[in-house]
Amino acid sequence: MGSIKIEKLDKLYKKLQTGNFSFVTNILLYLVAVIMALPLFFLLSPHLPEINLPLGAGIHLEYLLFSVLVVGLSIYIVIRLKHLVLILLGVGLVTIAISSARGGYSFQDAFQDYVVSLYNLQNNPVAVPLMAEEYEPFQDANRVAEAVHDQAPAVRRFAVKIGTKHFREHTDKDNRSLIQSFSIFKEINNNWVYVADPAGEEYFASAEETIQQQQIDGKFNGDCDDHAILMAACLKYVGSEVRLVRTTHHIYPELKIGSKDQLDKATFLIRHKLFVKESKKNSIYYHVDQSGVIWLNFDYTGRAPGGKFLQEDIVGILEF
């Protein structure tokens, strides 16, 4: 029975080898080979030994040789398994076509997920482990929470304004809240001026107070907790979830990203759409809590979301 099926597949493939069918199938096979080769290249290329040429500084010969090797190996495997590859390709295309016709997963979604995967293989975000499962009660939690939960209409109007000020061309229904959170990050962090608290006093400015100060000269003024309070209040008004992290000498906000898939999308947007210059050559840092939920650093010390954490022990986390 199995030999009969193989013979039928051979006959089908021979038919495809005639005329235009041969050209089309060969193109498909080579395309599949390249699609298979790219992730392997991006995954392994950072670990290649550097090959220096006597002439032409900056030419990475190791990348060229490795790319030829990977693509060649991928083509060999695909050609050897051409029957299986064509069957799987056909099943995959039909499945996505049916899903797309029903309003589900589409070819565009598949292409976007593939591109995001490639980018993230080149620039892996850095997970920074939390130091403890439980922390001491967040110092001044009530005062900070009260400042964050500022119900003044002016705060809501301001949050909506800056949440839609930047990156409108990249916004769609699937990433609206994330893009608006990044817009808030950009507006606040690009205009933040550090001002210390009065000597010997811990002062927590409400979001409304900081916004009123900004209306004077276009700059936000305050210390780290004032920044964290304003950022948290604005993020909450655009539907995002946020928490505050207290270290020995610092407080900073973290945006809830959620799953690894959402982190991949966020990383792609940061690196290649929204903060290209700011994130260049910099890693993206995040925490994973005890439930496996990912939180992205939104501190004012970073030019892009996911900036490097300060080297201080965490002593408390305030969730809302």
Which 3 state secondary structure label does DSSP give 243? strand
Spatial distance between the Cα atoms of 255 and 305, rounded to a whole number of angstroms: 9
Sign of the Cα pseudo-torsion (149, 152, 153, 158, in order): negative
* The pTM of the whole model exceeds 0.75: no
Distances (CA, A) of 52 to 41, 55, 57, 141, 144: 20, 9, 8, 56, 56
For the cut 90, the answer to whether the pLDDT of residue 18 exceeds it is: no
The values of phi and psi at residue 278, to 5°, are -65, -35
Check if the beta carbon of residue 314 is closer than 8 Å to that of residue 156.
no
Spatial distance between the Cα atoms of 206 and 144, rounded to a whole number of angstroms: 8
**pLDDT per residue over 104-143, tens digit each?**
888 887 887 777 666 555 555 666 666 556 788 899 999 9
Number of CB atoms found within 10 A of residue 96's CB: 17
Q: What pLDDT, on a 0 to 100 scale, did the predictor assign at position 131?
A: 52
**pLDDT per residue over 245-285, tens digit each?**
999 999 999 999 999 889 989 998 998 889 989 988 788 99
What single-letter amino acid sits at 128? V
**Where are the domains positioned within the chain?**
2-122, 127-319
Sign of the Cα pseudo-torsion (262, 263, 266, 268, in order): negative
Helices (H), 49-106: 61-80, 82-101
Instruction: Return the ∠ at Cα 96 (arms to 18 and 70), rounded to 5°.
Output: 65
Give, for 252, the enclosing helix (H) or strand (E). Answer: strand 251-258
Spatial distance between the Cα atoms of 231 and 19, rounded to a whole number of angstroms: 63
161 Cβ contact partners less than 8 Å away, ≥ 6 residues apart: none
Residue at token pair 């609206």: 176
Indicate the pLDDT class of residue 224, thresholds 50, 70 and 90: very high
CATH of domain 127-319: 3.10.620
Compute and round to an integer the Cα radius of gyration of the chain: 26
For the cut 70, the answer to whether the pLDDT of residue 13 exceeds it is: no
**pLDDT per residue over 50-102, tens digit each?**
665 555 445 556 677 878 888 889 888 988 888 888 888 889 889 988 988 88
Count CA atoms closer than 13 A to 283's CA, side-chain side: 9
Strand partners, 294: 258, 288
Spatial distance between the Cα atoms of 183 and 87, rounded to a whole number of angstroms: 45
The values of phi and psi at residue 43, to 5°, are -75, -40
Instruction: Return the ∠ at Cα 311 (arms to 221 and 193), rounded to 5°.
Output: 10
